[in-house]
Structure 1
């Protein structure tokens, strides 16, 4: 029992190291450093393993699972490699079965890591507990098969089942405890980022609103007099007046974007069917997609209802879809997918463009930041602001060369 408690403390060690020493450092984001730390913890659990049925029992697979799910495949394979080395050095008859068990333990978290990273807390708990249960079942089958042939069919099946049951329960508890600590740290980190972001946006918003309001008043006066002149002017200057009015109209749109960024003005809140709204938007955007040589696909599995300002929500969706189209090369695809689960309405906009680096992704949504040459850096910020004011959430995922996916979540109406 003392060794099991020691194992639990060891597997929770990486969480505290990351939180105390690496949280605000680049090393805290390095899969190599994190893999080595978790690998060292797996090494420690194996160094204090429990001997039963002629085999070594410990919680080495918990750092392995956590590394794949939270730190990525590089960290996971580093831990797996360290487990292989340590188990080989320990020797004994069960070296090969230990290798097989370790590979089996790594398969499930390796394939579900992407779903895990974007899943809800309930989904993460299911994946974590499934990992623990699968490891225990795999351990039971593999170990029983080994002992059955190694002992000429005289293995104590009941004793083995009891050992694996205790081992599986402790392992599930350890994985669950480690997951809760990781989630708490991630929530804390996310909260700090949101506070910093909110402060920046609030400052920029107040400044933008003040400037935009002061500029719009003289522009309105100028535009009014130019319209009067256009009605009277019929000579060669007529075409110039039309051009000036057109550019003033564009300036007004930009100023309205600034004002919407500062504080979206919801003029008419009403129940809106997202499926119907998106069908109209996609129909509108098809001409832009064709012009850019992009294939626009839309799939809808439900037609949920939300409370929103239809015009502002349309503006937000058009901005995001237009960004996806413009980021996609010719013969590429933009896929729009609408669905819902028990808690949220889920809209995904995915493109097959060049994608973004982690640095670019971290700045996305910041006022004036854009990855396009002719972009103003306003549209995406305004879209995010509108969606968040409607109790929604916008999540960006992107990899260089793999495109970008925007996930928009709205709480379901009860």
Structure 2
């Protein structure tokens, strides 16, 4: 019973920080980078490590084991280099404080099982769930294999008989299976929480978009018809009115055109799936879009630099995708008030075609990033927010994803993932 109690305590120390993952990390950060709650993450992980070491698993042979490396590995993978290093320092400091034998073994084991997590930090969030789970189990296997091997060597060097060595190794092997199962289950739980969180965000976003779509479908046509009539009569009046009033008539026509443009965006929002999908050579389409935007870029003192891999194909609507790319390029150009370079890259990554559009503009504050694409939200003085909203709907209709990353003073980067046709 004591053995089971020790195991349950270890699992409790590991699972509590994971259950707080959503509140501590996800709600206070962007999806891929640790945010202002880094200190709290380090604190929880450090406490988890300390408690695991303070209440180890006791075997019948008098040996002690703990699962301290699990919260450490999770912190490295999901928190990054700095939190991982800090928790590692806490672990070694507390191990030195506890004293006793095995400090050298702990250092060697740490070197064995933490190389891979630190190596995977930068690419971890881009891996699929299966790869994450497989790599985690591999880390657990490496860690436990090194522990069993070093313990066996240590016992043999002490000259113990084979029977005594066997009796001590069997509990270690059993705990090794428990360790591998626990670290795999921990990563599964973290990924489940992450996926549930992002699904909830997408559902909330979809509900808002559907509300606007229904409004657009019911109102846009009714508003467009009288606007067309008004515009026609204003043009007739321009031919007969006093030339002094031409400026006013020009202003009226300009605002009518603006209203027409907004209504067209509403209609695009209401029917993002209306176009026929076909096989598109993406590099050629990006080149065409860049050529269309080149004159607008020159007018704003911006140079467009394109880097695209050839023969990349996707299933999409050429017209809609071109519209989405033009919206993003136009935003990037307008963000660089003093000129600069707009970088456009197209490449293949795993089974997706990745389009990256990066400007050198003023950037967007972190608190505004999550609002991009929402109804009527825009950072422009006269913007409606419908352009980016339509763009997001177009990408989603093509079963793709779009992400915005920005840093004040350094610019904004838009990353689009579309399913590749290989």
Alpha-carbon contact 1:35-1:74 (below 8 Å) kept: no
Partner of 1:249: 257
Aligned-residue offset at 1:72: 4.0
What residue number does 1:397 align with?
405
Number of the residue aligned with 1:275: 283
Q: Which residue of 2 aligns with 1:304?
A: 312
Say if 1:266 and 1:126 are closer, same or farther in 2 by CA, change over 3 A.
same
Alignment counterpart, residue 98 of structure 2, candidates 90, 94, 98 = 90
CA offset at residue 101 of structure 1?
Answer: 4.7
Contact 1:133 1:172 in 2 (8 A): yes
Q: Secondary structure at the match of 2:370?
A: helix
Q: Is the 8 A contact 1:36 1:75 kept in 2?
A: no
Deviation at 1:193, TM superposition (A): 1.7
Offset, 1:170: 4.7
Residue 43 (structure 1) aligns with: 50
Q: Matches of 2:206 and 2:385 in 1, distance apart?
A: 17
Alpha-carbon deviation of 1:14? 2.1
Q: Which runs of 5+ in 1 are unaligned?
A: none
Q: 2:275, 2:317 within 8 Å by CA — same for their partners in 1? A: yes
Q: Any conservation in 1 of the 2:208–2:375 contact (CA below 8 Å)?
A: no
Q: Report what 1:323 is aligned to.
A: 331
- Contact 2:402–2:414 (CA<8 Å) still a contact in 1? yes
TM-superposed CA distance for 1:198, in Å, is 1.8
1:223 pairs, out of 211, 220, 231, with 231
Distance across 1 between alignment mates of 2:312 and 2:415: 16
Structure 1 contact 350–404 (Cα < 8 Å) conserved: yes
Q: How many residues align?
A: 409
What does the per-residue CA deviation read over 1:308-358, in whole Å, with 9 as the maximum and x for residues that have no partner? 332222111111122233334757543322233453332222334444444
Q: Which moved more, 1:56-65 or 1:235-244?
A: 235-244
Corresponding residue to 1:62 among 70, 74, 89: 70
Q: What is the aligned partner in structure 1 of residue 32 from structure 2?
A: none
C-alpha displacement of 1:267: 4.3
Check conservation: 2:24, 2:40, Cα contact below 8 A. no
What's the CA shift string for 1:351-406, capped at 9, x where partnerless? 34444444212211111212334433221111001221232222233344554332
Task: Determine if contact 2:306/2:343 at 8 Å carries over to the other structure.
Answer: yes
Residue 17 of structure 2 is matched in structure 1 by 14
Q: Secondary structure in 2 aligned to 1:249?
A: helix
**Secondary structure of 2:311 counterpart:** coil
Q: Distance in 2 between matches of 1:250 and 1:408?
A: 28
Match of 2:294 in 1: 286
Q: Counterpart of 2:38?
A: 31
Contact 2:283 2:310 (C-alpha < 8 Å) held by counterparts: yes
Distance 1:175 1:373, change over 3 A: farther
- Tell whether the 8 Å contact from 2:265 to 2:390 is kept in structure 1 after alignment: yes
Q: How far apart are 1:219 and its partner, in Å? A: 1.2
Please state whether the residue corresponding to 2:121 is helix, strand or coil: helix
Q: Does 1:337 align with 2:340?
A: no
What secondary structure sits across from 1:363 in the alignment?
coil
Q: Which segment drifts farther, 170-179 or 363-372? A: 170-179
Please report the RMSD computed on the Cα atoms of aligned residues, expressed in angstroms. Answer: 4.2
Could you give the per-residue CA deviations for residues 271-302 of structure 1, whole angstroms, max 9, x where no partner exists?
32222111111222233444444443322224
C-alpha distance in 1 between matches for 2:132 and 2:62: 35
Q: Secondary structure of 2:316's match?
A: strand
- Report if aligned partners of 1:116, 1:123 keep a CA contact under 8 Å in 2: no
The alignment status of 1:200 with 2:203, answered yes or no, reads: no
| Deviation (angstroms), 1:111 | 4.8
CA separation in 1, counterparts of 2:119 and 2:365? 23
Q: Determine the C-alpha separation between the residues in 1 that align with 2:363 and 2:112.
A: 33
Between the aligned partners of 2:276 and 2:13, the Cα distance in structure 1 is 56
Conserved 8 A contact 2:24-2:37: no
TM norm structure 2 = 0.78
Matches within 5 A, 1:145-160: none
Question: Separation in 1 of the partners of 2:116 and 2:301?
Answer: 39
Higher mean alpha-carbon deviation, 131-140 vs 58-67, is at 131-140
